[in-house]
Amino acid sequence: MRTQVGIVGAGPAGLLLSHLLHLEGVESVVLESRSREAVEQTIRAGVLEQGTVDLLTSVGVGDRMQREGAVHHGIELRFDGRGHRIDFPSLTGGRAIMLYAQHEVLKDLIKARLEAGGDIRFEAPAVGLDDLDSDRPRVRFQQDGRDQELECDVVAGCDGSWGVCLPAIPADRRTEYHREYPFGWFGILAEAPQSSKEIVYTYHERGFALVSTRSPTVQRLYFQCEPDDEVGNWPDERIWAELRARLETRDGWTLAEGPIFQKGVITMRSVVCQPMQYGRLFLAGDAAHIVPATGAKGLNLAVADVVVLARALVERDRSGRTDLLDAYSDTCLRRVWRAQHFSWWMTSMLHRFPGDDPFQHQLQLSQLRYVASSPAAAASLAENYVGLPLERP
Binding site for ligand PHB (CB under 6 A): 45-47, 199, 210, 212, 220, 293-294, 296
d(CA 16, CA 305): 10
Residue 164 engages ligand RFL in binding (rule: CB under 6 A): yes
Residue 126 engages ligand RFL in binding (rule: CB under 6 A): yes
Q: From the list 293, 349, 368, 382, which residue makes contact with ligand RFL (rule: CB under 6 A)?
A: 293
* Nearest distance, CB of residue 276 and ligand RFL, angstroms: 12
* Nearest distance, CB of residue 342 and ligand PHB, angstroms: 11
Q: From the list 20, 21, 26, 39, which residue makes contact with ligand RFL (rule: CB under 6 A)?
A: 39
| Nearest CB to ligand PHB, comparing residues 141 and 222 | 222
Q: From the list 199, 225, 273, 296, which residue makes contact with ligand RFL (rule: CB under 6 A)?
A: 296
What residues from 73 to 102 belong to the interface with ligand RFL (CB under 6 A)?
102
| Nearest CB to ligand RFL, comparing residues 114 and 363 | 114
* Window contacting ligand RFL (CB under 6 A); options: 44-52, 322-330, 348-356, 379-387: 44-52
Residue 302 engages ligand RFL in binding (rule: CB under 6 A): yes
* Nearest distance, CB of residue 247 and ligand RFL, angstroms: 18
Residue 46 engages ligand RFL in binding (rule: CB under 6 A): yes
| Nearest CB to ligand RFL, comparing residues 111 and 321 | 111
> Sign of dihedral through CA atoms 213, 284, 63, 48?
positive
Label each residue of the chain as H, E or C.
CEEEEEEECCCHHHHHHHHHHHHCCCCEEEECCCCHHHHHHCCCCCEECHHHHHHHHHCCCCHHHHHHCEEECEEEEEECCEEEEEEHHHHHCCCCEEECCHHHHHHHHHHHHHHCCCEEECCCCEEEEECCCCCCCEEEEEECCEEEEEEEEEEEECCCCCCCCHHHCCHHHCEEEEEEEEEEEEEEEEECCCCCCCEEEECCCCCCEEEEECCCCEEEEEEEECCCCCHHHCCHHHHHHHHHHHHCCCCCCCCCCCCEEEEEEEEEEEEEEECCEECCEEECHHHCEECCHHHCCHHHHHHHHHHHHHHHHHHHHHHCCCHHHHCHHHHHHHHHHHHHHHHHHHHHHHCCCCCCCHHHHHHHHHHHHHHHHCHHHHHHHHHHHHCCCCCCC
* Nearest distance, CB of residue 75 and ligand RFL, angstroms: 12
Q: Which does 199 bind (CB under 5 to 8 A by kind): ligand PHB, ligand RFL, none?
A: ligand PHB
* Nearest distance, CB of residue 392 and ligand RFL, angstroms: 19
Query: Which residue's Cβ has the minimum distance to ligand PHB?
Result: 46
* Nearest distance, CB of residue 140 and ligand RFL, angstroms: 10
* Nearest distance, CB of residue 164 and ligand PHB, angstroms: 27
Task: Kindly list the residues in this chain that would bind ligand RFL in the complex (CB under 6 A).
Answer: 8-14, 31-34, 39, 44-47, 102, 125-126, 158-160, 163-164, 187, 266, 285-287, 293, 296-300, 302
